[in-house]
Amino acid sequence: MSSSELSQVIPTYLRDFEEIYLSNPRQASIDWFRNARFGLFIHYGLYSIVGTHEWMQLRDCIPVQEYEKLMTQFDASKFDADAITDLALESQMKYVNITTRHHDGFCLFETQFSDFNSVNSPAQRDLVGEMARECARKGLGLFLYYSHGRDWRHPHAPNNEDWGARARPDYDPPELSYMYGENHNLDIYLEFVTNQITELLSNYGPIAGIWLDGIAVPLSRPDKLHLFKTDELYKRIHELQKHTLVSYKQQLLGTEDFCTPEREWDRPMPIPLEINTTMQPRVWGYCRADDGKHRDSVYVQDWLRDAAKLRANLLLNTGPLGDGSIHPEDVTTLRKIGSWLRENGFPTA
């Protein structure tokens, strides 16, 4: 195979792992991930416009039809994938992870299976596509966050009756768009999930990983865990792109390619480990009340040291403002941490 043919086959972020990629693409990805060290997490969606928190629909019990009105305000006028990926590179990061669809069901990509998406908003843009192009051009791995276990919009998503009080909002009176009792069919929701993840792995070039969220819902009923058919989803992902890694937080089945616990973790793992945390004090989507309180570069240095002790990557989250721009405090922190890493290198175990 010629070098030009190789360049078309091997994802740009895996170029240094081409020898193993040709015989075992997934192992090449695992080896790359173990060495990646640092990634940028992006929580962006309709909740960013309001600037309270990404769980606002559930915590404030906002009806589905009321919440969806936020889409008319979503213009993403300052979402700039080129600038974001440049900032990631300046910060010495090797990959980016973006929320393709959070618990509210709003999608940042073009999809045949939901009209609740950024292409149908005033933005009229496929933000995942824009991020995919820039990551491929600059040699960054692209991970796609997808809310699997928790969905507050789909009528057949996991419900409170079967999966616990926080599966979806506890509306009173009941949400008319939801299915209940014998009319509820989890398999319809799972087919929707598989269809969308198939789109994400078919339309945007090489994807470094599918990063699933909502683990508390399936874990709430271990006796019913098999109903989620998660093993079938993992198989589908690996069929579509052999190099693509799969994670589900601190592990759902134990067959995931890497473990990515949230914030607090104190032990190494036999599989690759990633610690994810945020530059805001607690929440992940933009919160106006946290202005002036974002974490500084010294805080991030400490997190990098802690991650190094566990031989883990650090996935550091930023919640863009409603217009899609990265919070100025986070830009400052990221640039400073990049300068510090260029001068000192990554901490060692």
Percent of the chain residues past pLDDT 70, beyond the cut: 98
> How many CA atoms lie less than 13 Å away from 26 in the CB half-sphere?
16
Q: What is the pLDDT of residues 4-19, one digit of tens each?
A: 344 458 999 999 999 9
Structural domain that includes position 25 = 3-344
The structural domain count of the chain equals 1
> Which residue, among 61, 141, 173, 164, has the nearest Cα to 315 in the 3D structure?
141
Task: Indicate which CATH number applies to the domain containing 262.
Answer: 3.20.20.80
pLDDT tens figures, 121-178:
999 999 999 999 999 999 999 999 999 999 999 999 999 999 987 899 999 999 999 9
- Whether residue 337 contacts residue 300, with contact meaning beta carbons closer than 8 Å, is answered with yes
Residue 296 domain-assigned (yes or no): yes
Put simply, whether the predicted model's pTM sits higher than 0.85 gets the answer yes
Domain assignment present for residue 237? The answer is: yes
Reported as a pLDDT band with limits 50, 70 and 90, residue 208 is very high
CB-CB contact of 116 with 105 (8 Å): yes
Report yes or no on 134 lying in a domain. yes
- pLDDT at position 8 is 52
Per residue in 29-75, pLDDT (tens digit) is 999 999 999 999 999 999 999 999 999 999 999 999 999 999 999 99
Closest CA to 249 of 222, 210, 288: 210
Q: What confidence category does residue 268 fall into, taking pLDDT thresholds of 50, 70 and 90?
A: confident
Specify whether the CB–CB gap between 211 and 256 falls below 8 A. Answer: no
pLDDT at 294: 98
Give CA torsion, residues 211, 213, 217, 223, to 10 deg.
Answer: 10
Instruction: Give residue for tokens 């040699």.
Output: 139
* Inside any domain, residue 328: yes
Taking a C-beta distance cutoff of 8 angstroms, is the pair 238, 246 a contact? Answer: yes
- Asked whether residue 77 is assigned to any structural domain, the reply reads yes
85-104: per-residue pLDDT in tens?
Answer: 999 999 999 999 999 999 99
Is 311 inside a domain boundary? yes
Q: Judge whether 143 and 96 are in contact, CB under 8 Å.
A: yes
Q: What is the mean pLDDT of residues 206-227?
A: 97
Give the pLDDT score at 304: 98
With respect to residue 291, please indicate whether it lies within any of the assigned structural domains.
Answer: yes
Average per-residue pLDDT for the chain: 95
- Within a domain: 349: no
Statement: residue 242 has pLDDT above 90: yes
Q: What percent of the chain has pLDDT over 90?
A: 94
* Residue 269 C-alpha from the chain's centroid: 21
Per-residue pLDDT, averaged over 316-333, amounts to 98
Which tokens sit at 275? 């610690």
